[in-house]
A and B are shown apart, each in its own frame.
Chain A
Amino acid sequence: MGLEGKTALVTGASRGIGRSIAIKLAQLGASVIVNYSGNKVRAEETAAQIQSVGSEALIWQCDISDEKAVQEMVKESIAHFGKLDIVVNNAGITRDGLLMRMKEEDWDAVLNTNLKGVFLVTKAVLRPMMRQKKGRIINVASVVGILGNPGQANYVAAKAGVIGLTKATAREVASRGITVNAVAPGFIVTDMTDQLSDDVKNKMKQEIPLGQLGSPDDVAGAVAFLASDDSKYMTGQTLSIDGGMSMQ
């Protein structure tokens, strides 16, 4: 599953699942562009870990819901590394609340980053990938995009949208050697889930057939597979990494 000589862009790579993905790809030999929006110190920590396994890291700050900023990031990444083989659309935010009380700005913020951001990054990287006649795009969706979740109408809508966007993009570019797949993590131990009370976490565990929360590395392993040649005959798929929560 080696990725020697490959270049990967990971959005939202300063922490959590994005950081684990960036480090995993680096461990397999890829050079990584570490995108982040707000936390420079933690992005630098991710970059240092990438360098410690012998890979090259480039840190790039940009809000992925800003088209011009995204285009510049992609252009500079290619100028630096000469190509872009793998793109992981991971960056995401939450603004939870009951739909009846959800503010329009909370809806817009989540949709802009979690769905429009994936569209903008994908649009910017497809051109160079079509020139290369090869490319791997991996979108990070969520189990809630499949099952729904009360209090997360905006997040669920965006993540279900990512699954649909994955399929539409996969069909558009399949003939050009570019694959587009998604992963749908379940409850993973990150800053996002650390905020939950023990009571909520215990209830969650009861809904997980494998009986425990996942780790970011569980997600990173699936992303690495989708980034490698081992998955070359797969496109438009969503792999659930959720301890069995969404099994059909």
Chain B
Amino acid sequence: MADEDVLTRVKKIVVDRLGVDEADVKLEASFKEDLDADSLDIVELVMELEDEFNLEISDEDAEKIQSVGDVVSYIENHKS
């Protein structure tokens, strides 16, 4: 079960950044396939998530991020 607070904050950033409907930002949604993001959008998204959650996501980890669920579980595992 995903932390509601993290999910809410992630959703807000994804909606703002990608201009998608909040209803489409589900845990299983793929950024590229479902949310129409390109590689550069994902880089920017990662930068914004770093600011929001005050953490640093390495390039290696950032490359593994494919879906909204990946982001949420990464943040839950790395939260200080």
Contact B40 A127 (CB under 8 A): no
Interface size on A, residues (CB 8 A): 7
Q: For B43, list chain A residues within 8 Å (CB).
A: 130
Chain A residue at minimal CB-CB distance from B41: A175
Asked if residues B40 and A131 are in contact (CB atoms below 8 Å), the reply is no
Q: Is A172 interfacial (CB 8 A cutoff)? A: yes
Query: When chains A and B are docked, how far (Å) is the Cα of A225 from the Cα of B65?
Result: 40
- Point out the residues of chain B lying under 8 angstroms from A176, CB to CB: 40, 44
Q: Are A173 and B47 touching (Cβ within 8 A)?
A: no
Give A10 to B44 CA distance when docked, in angstroms. Answer: 26
Chain B proximity mask over A142-183: 1 for CB below 8 Å, otherwise 0:
000000000000000000000000000000110110000000
Cα–Cα, bound, A131→B51 (Å): 11
B43 nearest in chain A by CB position: A130
Q: Which residue of A lies closest to B51 (CB)?
A: A131
Closest CB of chain A to B1's CB: distance in Å?
33
The digit string for B32-45, where 1 denotes a CB below 8 A from any CB of A, is: 00000000100110
Specify which of A130, A172, A175 is in contact with B47 (CB 8 Å cutoff).
Answer: A130
Q: Whose C-beta in chain B lies nearest to the C-beta of A128?
A: B47
Q: What is the CA–CA distance of A239 and B43 in the complex, to the nearest angstrom?
A: 30
The answer for the CA separation of A226 and B40 in the assembled complex, in Å, is 24
Compute how far the CA of A127 lies from the CA of B44 in the bound complex, rounded to whole angstroms: 8
Binding site for A on B (CB under 8 A): 40, 43-44, 47
Which A residues contact B (CB, under 8 angstroms)?
127, 130-131, 172-173, 175-176
**Cβ contacts A to B, 5 pairs, < 8 Å:** A130-B43, A131-B47, A172-B40, A175-B40, A176-B44
Q: Which 7 A-B pairs have the closest CB atoms?
A: A130-B44, A131-B47, A127-B47, A130-B47, A175-B40, A176-B40, A172-B40
